[in-house]
Chain A
Amino acid sequence: MTTSPTVSGSLRNRLVLTLIGGAAVLAILLFLTVRSYAAKVAQQGQDDILGASVTSILDAAALRDGQLEVDIPYAAFSMLSTPSDDRVFYAIYQDGAFLSGYEDLGLAAGPVGGRLAFETGEVRGERVRQVSAGRTLVGLGRQTEIEVALGQTQDALSDTLDQISRNAAYLGIGFFLLTAALSFWVTSTTIGQLNKLTNSVTRRGPQDLSPFKKPVPKEMAPLVMSLNSLMGRLDQSLSQSEDFIAEAAHRVRTPLATVRSYAETTLHRVEREENREALKAMVRAIDESSRAAGQLLDHAMITFRADHLEREEIDLVILCRDLVQRLIPIAEMKELTLSLTGEPSVPYSGDPILIQNAVRNLIDNAMKYAPSDSKVEISLLMHPTPQIQVRDAGPGFPPDEIDTLTRRFERGQNAAGTIGSGLGLTIAQDVATAHGGSLILRNRKKGGACVTLSL
């Protein structure tokens, strides 16, 4: 009887999502950082070469006899050679007037002076990185300003950037995949600890309330500790109540016996019929109470022994035969026949006191419900499992209650006229469970109940 807990979110999903999301963000950041850094470095490289080239052209400018001469060094353009064969544009201006080169390549805006001015623009439909620089030449009585603009397309640069971007992307994806795999692993090992604990809780027997002793991670120690303390308290209160019941039953039984003997004695002395009837009813009630107290005691004993099951080698046939012999007098009083059939010998390793108690309860039940002059059959089987079957010719179990009859104090609707506490089947069931077996209730086709204690 478990109620499903209210579920809100999943630790695993939350962990995985957080870790993978973080990895994705980091991978993208990594990619962007590497790319922008590479772009900066590559652009710086192109700018350096453009700067060196334009400086060498400016250096080659001279005033000769008042005439400006610009003897462009071969290396000035040679150094602009790139693997992608970038196009090169240049323009030379004297005092702002175009002198040579490509007229459509303008100078950088603003005064140029001695510094290099870089800009990116478009020339003849292509993106061009451009540098402008100027220099003042002083000749005889004459001063002139020479300015040079030098542009280069960026094919090699974008090739380099593409390559770096590709590599950075591989790096980012690799980083992401690795981190994702790692986060899955970390998550499953973390959740795995919880699963382990859950398993060991689930695998426990119904009576096992001992504390957990297996090592757990530090973070789970408080959970296990409170679980252990909860079970400790549960165990304590359970055993307290069992003790209490046993004690109560024991204390009730002795005075009941006394009361019963007084009642019997009185019954012999009383002569008025109505008084005798009242006393007989009293004795019956006392019998019922004493039987219930006895079963409560049995039940408490069985609960204790089942918790600390001690097995020994026994033969179920001998055990049942002893039992039958002891019960024969009671059966004869009710005019019932007890018959023991089946295998000649069924060896089994179990607690004889428990099994005896269970079988006696089953036979008791059968005798209670069996009509006079009928037969209660006890048969023993070895296969498929060692089992003891008790059959009677009584009314059988009410079909709609067959599943709930083994609960404590649960009695069938047809049991109203019979003495009983409702603990008999519970005890038999507990014994079967303690031995790893089961109790099967069914009705015989010809009428009557059939109970199988399968061990």
Chain B
Amino acid sequence: MRYLIALVLLFCPLVGWADDWEDRLVFNEGAEGPRLRVISSTDTVLFAPVIEGFVAENPLISVEYLVSGTADINRRVRETPEAFDVIISSAMDLQLKLANDGFALPIDDVPVPSWAQWHHSLFAFTSEPATIVINRTAFEGQPVPQTRQGLIEALRKRPEAFRGKVGTYDVRQSGLGYLFATQDARASETYWRLMEVMGSLDVQLYCCSGDMINDLADGTILVAYNVLGSYAAVRTEGKDALEVVLPTDFQTIMMRTAMVSRATSEPKAAEMLLRYIVAERPATEDTSPLPLLQSGGANGRETIGLNPALLTFLDGLKRTKFLSAWEDAVIQ
């Protein structure tokens, strides 16, 4: 356990710097108008174009963009809701619980489909699948697995090649990892078998997608499971060795969500930013590295629904039970 934390600290070099933010950037510094504090789990590089677009349209507003992990965002918002104006996270369940618990400010008439918003307070703005990213060198002369079952077979076939070289989220630390894990477990038993196989191969556990892909790129690991598609797409650009696999058996698609904090001191500006992010940002793949919102079911894909069912696995008893089952499978 201590080893794991040390590992996490190692891969998160920014931890410990200035109020423990993974990243911090101020847009439009020196603007006369209000300053918005945005707490987000999305890497600055992905989200910067959106904020830049917003401050270009609203030159009086400055935005302080703070990046942290999903679980950390949840904790910080609950501790000091007044410290943030807009909250963006990929952990839909934690976001929904925040909204359900009354941390979100309801905003009327945001032009999003009803399935992409909850209680007029939580708004989805991307659709991003969980993917398997593999290093092609590991599968030379072998077929690249397209399903979880295929991955299990490939791992079982050459355990020595993959020992210590597979990675996935540490669901105890990552809110998004926990969301993907619980949804996978709900969808199929295959998830548990995959976890057992990965556990037996001395799986590397990560707090964040970014670190996982970095390790993949430099060959530390060969297979990463449940990596966010958007991160994978950005990071694998120009790295021919990496291949992003959208599993064909079933897909788990997450929607990145945003809300305005109920305790915000700048409700007007925060609402403007939220509207910009959700509905007004230039909506083409070219101008923004963030994927667009897509209605689920179009390609037979399964988008996690924004509904109270997301509260289920956040229940203390349920979470304890799930984590113990997960630890039983993964940590051997």
B-binding residues in A (CB < 8 A): 69-78, 80-81, 83-90, 92, 99-102, 124-125, 155
Tell whether A72 pairs with B318 under 8 Å between CB atoms, given A80-B308, A88-B308.
yes
Q: B318: which A residues are within 8 A, CB to CB?
A: 70-72
State which of B305, B306, B315 has its C-beta within 8 Å of the C-beta of A100: B315
Query: In the bound complex, do residue A83 and residue B317 qualify as a contact, i.e. CB atoms below 8 Å apart?
Result: no
Q: How many Å lie between the Cα of A88 and that of B308 in the bound state?
A: 7
Q: B5: which A residues are within 8 A, CB to CB?
A: none
Query: In the bound complex, do residue A81 and residue B307 qualify as a contact, i.e. CB atoms below 8 Å apart?
Result: yes
Query: In the bound complex, do residue B309 and residue A75 qualify as a contact, i.e. CB atoms below 8 Å apart?
Result: yes
Query: In the bound complex, do residue A83 and residue B114 qualify as a contact, i.e. CB atoms below 8 Å apart?
Result: yes
Interface residues of B in 131-151 (CB under 8 A from A): none
- A-B pair count, CB < 8 Å, reads 68
Q: How many Å lie between the Cα of A155 and that of B100 in the bound state?
A: 13
Known: A88-B308, A100-B316, A124-B101. 4 other contacts (CB 8 A): A72-B318, A84-B119, A87-B100, A87-B119
Q: B231: which A residues are within 8 A, CB to CB?
A: none
Q: Does B311 contact A (CB under 8 A)?
A: yes
The 8 closest A-B pairs by CB, nearest first: A78-B309, A85-B119, A81-B307, A88-B308, A77-B308, A100-B316, A77-B309, A85-B118
How close is A52's CB to chain B, nearest CB, in angstroms? 14
Q: For residue A89, which residue of chain B has the nearest CB?
A: B100
Tell whether A70 pairs with B317 under 8 Å between CB atoms, given A85-B119, A85-B120.
yes
How close is A221's CB to chain B, nearest CB, in angstroms? 68
Q: Does B186 contact A (CB under 8 A)?
A: yes
Q: B316: which A residues are within 8 A, CB to CB?
A: 99-101
A-binding residues in B (CB < 8 A): 100-102, 114, 117-120, 186, 305-312, 315-318, 321
Q: For residue B119, which residue of chain A has the nearest CB?
A: A85
* Among A73, A74, A76, A89: residue with most chain B CB under 10 A: A74
Q: How many Å lie between the Cα of A229 and that of B332 in the bound state?
A: 119
Query: In the bound complex, do residue B315 and residue A101 qualify as a contact, i.e. CB atoms below 8 Å apart?
Result: yes
Query: In the bound complex, do residue B315 and residue A74 qualify as a contact, i.e. CB atoms below 8 Å apart?
Result: no
Q: For residue A73, which residue of chain B has the nearest CB?
A: B312
Tell whether A100 pairs with B317 under 8 Å between CB atoms, given A83-B114, A124-B102.
yes
Query: In the bound complex, do residue A92 and residue B308 qualify as a contact, i.e. CB atoms below 8 Å apart?
Result: no
Q: For residue B100, which residue of chain A has the nearest CB?
A: A87
Query: In the bound complex, do residue B315 and residue A81 qualify as a contact, i.e. CB atoms below 8 Å apart?
Result: no
Q: A124: which B residues are within 8 A, CB to CB?
A: 101-102
State which of A70, A78, A99 has its C-beta within 8 Å of the C-beta of B307: A78
How close is A49's CB to chain B, nearest CB, in angstroms? 12
Q: How many Å lie between the Cα of A235 and that of B135 in the bound state?
A: 125
Q: How many Å lie between the Cα of A90 and that of B120 in the bound state?
A: 21
Q: B312: which A residues are within 8 A, CB to CB?
A: 72-74, 76-78
Tell whether A81 pairs with B317 under 8 Å between CB atoms, given A87-B119, A88-B100.
no
Q: How many Å lie between the Cα of A155 and that of B102 in the bound state?
A: 15
Q: A81: which B residues are within 8 A, CB to CB?
A: 305, 307-309
Q: How many Å lie between the Cα of A293 and that of B252 in the bound state?
A: 126
Query: In the bound complex, do residue B308 and residue A78 qualify as a contact, i.e. CB atoms below 8 Å apart?
Result: yes
How close is B227's CB to chain A, nearest CB, in angstroms? 24
Q: How many Å lie between the Cα of A124 and that of B102 in the bound state?
A: 8
Q: A87: which B residues are within 8 A, CB to CB?
A: 100, 102, 119, 308
